[in-house]
């Protein structure tokens, strides 16, 4: 890979005063044993098993002391040792806690030397790094790894579904693949991919040198691979991977094979990561805006991440709670969701959806932000109705908390709850409609540059409209009663999360690729990628509306013969969709290594991240910029978003 | 600009026409076999009409704008600085709000009607879901128990769902009605069959390894045939 280029360009940039920003961290040289005691993978290699052993002996010791049989209960040992203690050992090993532990233990804390900041070689991407730009790229590379893993699983079960009946999987493997596919795509791809883009872009857009809490930021990134490894490792569990769907409804998830605890605990790590990142964004956006950057001058991407972070902070603890309850029901034999013990089965769904419906907006609002940036810049026009665009985000945020039970219209909940939830659900169409109409009004009479990010943004606008409209069908209780739990739902969520979120992630990556790498991607390959994705996406998911309405229920490996041909067609289309990603990776890797220099502002955008070099200097701005106007004043003569001090010469810096 | 508007409208109408043909020519819904599904299909067509209109509008503006105002990538001029239009913004807040309220009111009415017991007492059927089979119990016929659902034509049936293990969901696609069978609580739906024939009961909620195969036969027969069947010994 070409990460090296990033470092080279960064290093070429003028380094500010040495007293303020001392030299870059060098890993300790000297005897080999130091490799195993300094922060890094060497130390993690022995701390992880050590912590596992501590967790294991805690379990075994306590069970022995209390005389519980069996003393070696592997479910509990794996939960405590493997899923709580070992990850903490790993984090301690790579050095995520070093600074705090120095401080806590009263040892002389190292003065903030920014030693973990910035990247000069590819190795810096494998360290606990506190630079928001490095963390952003760490997020994106990690999430795309899991995107491929999740996509591969999808193609496996699509191959299984090409014909009715079982072909080459068994039903446990099928349920496991479906569940892990959804879990990876949601928790390890869409949510953190947006966090990655926002990590890179938001501090730059605000005119800030970094996030408010860089060490917390590094920690929240490193929690993520732990969750991903846990989800995938569930395939190794006796009885197979968790197979109760990504929704993990109790009591099935309580009674199912032990693989379910991998889901219960993995979600905790991914959730903790989200919550910490969201807090970090909130504090950064509230306190670190450059002078003059009022809320009404913030780019819509910042607005979007502000509202998303509020959603995350308020909602995510609920899924953590729901999974802990399921975990306790299994391991501690509590009765939260066991009717015979006084538990309430629907309670799980209420708590779960109180997070998981807002989660849909967590997976969509950042995309709205990205698309607003791309459409305004590429149409060379101010975003249409900027204030209403920002307010509609707030509207979605507020309404988003009042609709969770629309996932439960056929779940047997209180009947009176259905109509109020239907009304709030349908009303969400209003702020969403405002956004769609404002984007297309931004196109109107613009000067449209049909670049790859713009293609993905326009693909998003149309595909997300389909997803929103099928949402109207599902919002209407009577239609939902027929269509719920069928392939219509599968079609709807893929139009929202793939045609919606994933398209915006692609738009964002193409749009900021020159900023992140300093190089330009290949436009022809980008367009090929878009059209291949767009066509095969529709071929894969549009027929699913039909299948669902006609009577094909979801999460089944077998279906009536009559649906055979259409399913075969869908499977073929899904393989093309999978293959389209190869074009994307080829483009990214080759352009990162050999692409032409992009320059600081290839899109002639007004927002702040484009006013610095590509990739940006280590602390983003030599001097904090002064914001003097709105972010999208295209076509307004003489309008500026911000005034930046001219780059200083070396003599001035050292004077 | 007037010519442009005409072109835009033509693009929109073409898209709408194609979508209407697709919506009408393909048989998107199973044949309705119940009074309840007839009503649901009415709501479905209302929603489809609105969906086609809105999608055609959005797609037409996107296609028209790209067609009209696309410039080469090295163009370095800016578009006109239009920041908004209060009238338009009010319009596209109010019109969708009105449309969704219409759908909401119609849906609420249909939901209420579908949940109403008829004037004559309904036929009671207890549906018992368990991994991975359905059992149907007829309390008015000495708790006759059957693995096959048999219903008399034209008589409202009240289903009470129970589950002995995990959550299942009772669904007959041709009846358009669905309800989860939840351990610990009883849930109900009404179905009034309107069409003789054989249908399928499917489990719509993931219930474990055998979820895909958890099906049963549903038969709608004439009231006389039903009486004979229900009073007969054979299950």
- For residue A25, the model assigns a pLDDT of 52
Which of A482, A549, A631 is best to mutate for the B interface (most B CBs within 10 A)?
A482
- For residue A645, the model assigns a pLDDT of 73
Q: Do B187 and A412 lie within an 8 Å CB cutoff?
A: yes
Residues B166 and B164: their CA atoms lie apart, in Å, by 7
A248 touches chain B (CB under 8 A): no
> How many contacts (CB atoms, under 8 Å) link A and B?
271
A386 touches chain B (CB under 8 A): yes
* Distance (Å) from the alpha carbon of A238 to chain B's nearest alpha carbon: 15
Considering only CB atoms, B176 lies closest to which of A344, A345, A482, namely A482
Residues A433 and A590: their CA atoms lie apart, in Å, by 39
- For residue A123, the model assigns a pLDDT of 80
CB proximity under 8 Å: A 314-373 to B: 339, 343-346
* Distance (Å) from the alpha carbon of A248 to chain B's nearest alpha carbon: 10
- For residue A183, the model assigns a pLDDT of 97
What ipTM goes with this model? 0.96
A633 touches chain B (CB under 8 A): yes
Residues A275 and A315: their CA atoms lie apart, in Å, by 9
Q: Are A52 and A85 in contact (CB under 8 A)?
A: yes
Q: Is the pLDDT assigned to residue A3 strictly greater than 80? A: no
Chain mean pLDDT for chain A:
91
* Distance (Å) from the alpha carbon of A383 to chain B's nearest alpha carbon: 7
Instruction: Please give the backbone phi and psi of residue B160, each rounded to the nearest 5 degrees, phi first.
Output: -115, 120
Nearest chain B residue to A549, by CA: B29
Q: Is the pLDDT assigned to residue A654 strictly greater than 80? A: no
Mean pLDDT of B143-171: 95
Q: Is the pLDDT assigned to residue A566 strictly greater than 90? A: yes
Residues B116 and B114: their CA atoms lie apart, in Å, by 6
Mean pLDDT of A560-587: 96
Give the CA dihedral A125, A127, A128, A133, nearest 10 degrees: -10
- For residue A120, the model assigns a pLDDT of 75
The CA-atom distances, in angstroms, between A10 and each of A14, A112, A602, A617 are 9, 21, 18, 6
Nearest chain A residue to B161, by CA: A412
Other CB atoms within 10 A of residue A55 CB: 23
* Distance (Å) from the alpha carbon of B190 to chain A's nearest alpha carbon: 12
| Residues A436-473: tens digit of each pLDDT | 999 999 999 999 999 999 999 999 999 999 999 999 99
* Distance (Å) from the alpha carbon of A427 to chain B's nearest alpha carbon: 7
Name the architecture of domain B123-231.
Sandwich (2.60)
Domains of chain A plus CATH, in order, are 3-39+95-111+125-608 (1.20.210.10)
Q: Is the pLDDT assigned to residue A11 strictly greater than 50? A: no
Nearest chain B residue to A444, by CA: B65
Residues A172 and A185: their CA atoms lie apart, in Å, by 20
Residues A208 and A134: their CA atoms lie apart, in Å, by 15
Q: Is the pLDDT assigned to residue A7 strictly greater than 50? A: no
Work out whether strand B177-181 and strand B168-172 pair parallel, antiparallel, or are unpaired: antiparallel
Q: Is the pLDDT assigned to residue A112 strictly greater than 60? A: no
- For residue A275, the model assigns a pLDDT of 97
Coil, helix or strand at residue A553? strand
Other CB atoms within 10 A of residue B102 CB: 13
Q: Which structure tokens are listed for B205?
A: 């909620």
Instruction: Please give the backbone phi and psi of residue A649, each rounded to the nearest 5 degrees, phi first.
Output: -80, 165
| Residues B43-78: tens digit of each pLDDT | 999 999 999 999 999 999 999 999 999 999 999 899
Q: Do A551 and B30 lie within an 8 Å CB cutoff?
A: yes
Q: Do B71 and A634 lie within an 8 Å CB cutoff?
A: no
Give the CA dihedral A626, A627, A632, A638, nearest 10 degrees: -70
Q: Do B173 and A244 lie within an 8 Å CB cutoff?
A: no
- For residue A284, the model assigns a pLDDT of 97
Contacts of A426 in chain B (CB under 8 A): 100-101, 103-104
| Residues A427-443: tens digit of each pLDDT | 999 999 999 999 999 99
Considering only CB atoms, A549 lies closest to which of B29, B81, B180, namely B29
The CA-atom distances, in angstroms, between A514 and each of A375, A595, A621, A648 are 17, 9, 18, 23
Mean pLDDT of A270-280: 96
Mean pLDDT of A242-249: 93
Residues A6 and A120: their CA atoms lie apart, in Å, by 7
| Residues A39-94: tens digit of each pLDDT | 889 999 999 999 999 999 999 999 999 998 889 988 899 999 999 999 999 999 99
Mean pLDDT of A112-118: 62
Q: Is the pLDDT assigned to residue B149 strictly greater than 60? A: yes
DSSP secondary structure string, B22-80?
Answer: HHHHS--SPPP-BHHHHHHHHHHHHHHHHHHHHHHHHHHHHHHHHHHHB--TT------
Query: How much of chain A exceeds pLDDT 90, in percent?
Result: 80
* Distance (Å) from the alpha carbon of A142 to chain B's nearest alpha carbon: 31
Please report where in the chains the tokens 């890993």 appear, as a residue: A27
Considering only CB atoms, B80 lies closest to which of A422, A554, A635, namely A635
Q: Do A546 and B28 lie within an 8 Å CB cutoff?
A: yes
At residue A19 the predicted structure's pLDDT band, cuts being 50, 70 and 90, is very low
Contacts of B54 in chain A (CB under 8 A): 433, 465, 469
Contacts of A412 in chain B (CB under 8 A): 161, 179-182, 185, 187
The CA-atom distances, in angstroms, between A447 and each of A379, A531, B26 are 5, 22, 39
DSSP secondary structure string, A56-76?
Answer: HHHHHHHHHHHT-S-S--HHH
Q: Do A635 and B83 lie within an 8 Å CB cutoff?
A: no
Q: Do A379 and B79 lie within an 8 Å CB cutoff?
A: yes
The C-alpha angle with vertex B90 and arms to B84 and B93, in degrees rounded to 5, equals 110
Mean pLDDT of A409-417: 93
- Pick from A144, A141, A139: nearest CA to A198: A139
Considering only CB atoms, B92 lies closest to which of A433, A445, A560, namely A433
| Residues A303-342: tens digit of each pLDDT | 999 999 999 999 999 999 999 999 999 998 999 999 888 8
A245 touches chain B (CB under 8 A): yes
Contacts of B100 in chain A (CB under 8 A): 426-427, 429-430, 472, 475
A524 touches chain B (CB under 8 A): no
SS percent in chain B: helix, strand, coil, step 5: 45, 25, 30
Nearest chain B residue to A379, by CA: B79
Q: Are A585 and A1 in contact (CB under 8 A)?
A: no
A634 touches chain B (CB under 8 A): yes
Q: What is the pTM of this model?
A: 0.93
Contacts of A445 in chain B (CB under 8 A): 69, 79-80, 82
Q: Which structure tokens are listed for A495?
A: 């139009």
A599 touches chain B (CB under 8 A): no
Residues B211 and B203: their CA atoms lie apart, in Å, by 7
Please report where in the chains the tokens 């009034």 appear, as a residue: B192
| Residues A196-205: tens digit of each pLDDT | 999 999 999 9
- For residue A152, the model assigns a pLDDT of 96
CB proximity under 8 Å: A 545-584 to B: 545-546, 549-551, 553-560
Nearest chain A residue to B188, by CA: A412
Residues A452 and A190: their CA atoms lie apart, in Å, by 20
- For residue B1, the model assigns a pLDDT of 73
Contacts of A523 in chain B (CB under 8 A): 73
Coil, helix or strand at residue A633? coil
Instruction: Please give the backbone phi and psi of residue A494, each rounded to the nearest 5 degrees, phi first.
Output: -75, -30
Nearest chain A residue to B36, by CA: A478
């Amino acid at each position: 890979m070409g990460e090296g280029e990033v470092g080279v360009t960064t290093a070429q940039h003028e380094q500010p005063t040495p007293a303020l920003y001392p030299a870059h961290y060098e890993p300790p040289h000297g005897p080999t044993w130091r490799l195993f005691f300094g922060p890094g993978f060497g130390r993690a290699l022995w701390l992880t098993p050590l912590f596992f052993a501590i967790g294991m002996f805690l379990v075994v010791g306590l069970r022995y002391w209390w005389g519980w049989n069996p003393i070696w209960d592997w479910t509990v040992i794996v939960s405590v040792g493997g899923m709580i203690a070992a990850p903490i050992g790993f984090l301690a090993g790579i050095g995520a806690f070093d600074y705090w532990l120095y401080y806590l233990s009263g040892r002389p804390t190292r003065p903030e030397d920014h030693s973990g900041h910035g990247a000069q070689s590819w190795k810096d991407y494998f360290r606990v790094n506190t630079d928001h730009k490095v963390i952003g790229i760490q997020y994106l590379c990690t999430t795309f790894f899991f995107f491929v893993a999740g996509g591969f699983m999808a193609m496996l079960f699509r191959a299984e579904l090409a014909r009715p009946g079982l072909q080459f999987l068994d039903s446990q493997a099928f349920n496991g693949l479906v569940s892990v596919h959804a879990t990876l795509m949601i928790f390890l791809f869409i949510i953190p991919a947006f966090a990655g883009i926002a990590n890179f872009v938001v501090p730059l857009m605000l005119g800030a040198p970094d996030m408010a809490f860089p060490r917390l930021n590094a920690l929240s990134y490193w929690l993520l691979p732990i969750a991903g490894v846990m989800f995938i490792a569930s395939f190794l569990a006796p009885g197979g991977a968790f197979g109760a769907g990504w929704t993990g409804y109790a009591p099935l998830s309580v009674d199912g094979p032990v693989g379910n605890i991998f889901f219960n605990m993995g979600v905790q790590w991914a959730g903790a990561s989200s919550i910490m990142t969201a807090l970090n964004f909130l504090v950064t956006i509230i306190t670190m805006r450059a002078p003059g950057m009022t809320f009404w001058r913030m780019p819509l991407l910042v607005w979007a991440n502000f509202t998303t972070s509020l959603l995350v902070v308020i909602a995510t603890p609920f899924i953590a709670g729901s999974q802990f309850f399921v975990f306790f029901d299994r391991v501690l034999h509590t009765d939260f969701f066991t009717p015979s013990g006084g538990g309430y089965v629907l309670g799980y769904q209420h708590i779960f959806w109180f997070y998981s419906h807002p989660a849909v907006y967590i997976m969509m609002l950042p995309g709205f932000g990205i698309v607003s940036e791309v459409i305004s810049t590429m149409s060379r026009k101010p975003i249409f109705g900027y204030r209403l665009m920002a307010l509609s985000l707030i509207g979605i945020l507020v309404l988003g908390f009042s609709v969770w039970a629309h996932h439960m219209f056929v779940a047997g909940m209180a009947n009176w709850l259905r109509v109020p939830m239907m009304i709030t659900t349908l009303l969400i169409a209003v702020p969403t409609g405002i956004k769609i109409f404002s984007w297309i009004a931004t196109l109107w009479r613009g000067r449209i540059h049909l670049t790859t990010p713009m293609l993905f943004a326009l693909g998003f606008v149309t595909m997300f409209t389909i997803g929103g409209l099928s949402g109207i069908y599902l919002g209407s209780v009577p239609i939902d009663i027929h269509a719920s739990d069928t392939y219509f739902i599968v079609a709807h969520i893929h139009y929202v999360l793939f045609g919606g979120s994933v398209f915006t992630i692609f738009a964002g990556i193409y749009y900021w690729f020159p900023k992140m790498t300093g190089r330009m991607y290949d436009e022809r390959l980008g367009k090929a990628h878009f059209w291949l994705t767009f066509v095969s996406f529709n071929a894969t998911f549009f027929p699913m509306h039909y299948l669902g309405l006609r009577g094909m229920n979801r999460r089944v490996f077998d279906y009536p013969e009559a649906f055979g041909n259409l399913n075969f067609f869908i499977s073929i289309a899904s393989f093309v969709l999978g293959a389209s990603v190869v074009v994307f990776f080829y483009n990214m890797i080759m352009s990162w290594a050999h692409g032409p220099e992009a320059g600081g502002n290839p899109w002639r955008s007004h927002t702040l991240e484009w006013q610095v070099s590509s990739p940006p200097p280590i602390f983003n701005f030599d001097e904090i910029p002064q914001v003097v106007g709105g972010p999208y004043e295209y076509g307004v003569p003489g309008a500026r978003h911000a005034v930046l001090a001219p780059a200083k010469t070396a003599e001035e810096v050292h004077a | 600009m007037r010519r442009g508007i005409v072109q835009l409208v033509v693009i929109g109408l073409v898209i709408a026409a194609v979508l209407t043909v697709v919506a009408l020519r393909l048989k998107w819904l199973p044949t309705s076999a119940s009074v309840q599904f007839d009503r649901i299909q009415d709501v479905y067509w209302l929603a489809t009409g609105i969906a086609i209109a809105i999608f055609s509008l959005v797609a037409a503006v996107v296609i028209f704008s790209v067609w009209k105002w696309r410039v080469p990538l090295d163009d370095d001029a800016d578009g006109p600085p239009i920041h908004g239009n209060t009238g338009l913004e009010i319009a596209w807040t109010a019109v969708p709000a009105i449309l969704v309220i219409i759908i909401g009111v119609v849906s609420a009415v249909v939901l209420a009607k579908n949940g109403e017991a008829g004037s004559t007492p309904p036929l009671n059927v207890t549906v018992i879901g368990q991994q991975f089979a359905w059992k149907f119990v007829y309390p008015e016929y000495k708790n006759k128990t059957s693995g096959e659902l048999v219903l008399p034509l034209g008589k409202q049936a009240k289903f009470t769902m129970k589950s002995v293990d995990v959550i299942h969901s009772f669904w007959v696609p041709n009846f358009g009605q669905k309800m989860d069978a939840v351990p610990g609580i009883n849930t109900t739906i009404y179905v009034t069959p309107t069409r003789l024939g054989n249908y399928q009961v499917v489990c719509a909620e993931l219930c474990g390894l055998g979820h895909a195969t958890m099906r049963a036969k549903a038969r709608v027969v004439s009231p006389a045939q039903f009486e004979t069947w229900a009073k007969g010994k054979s299950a």
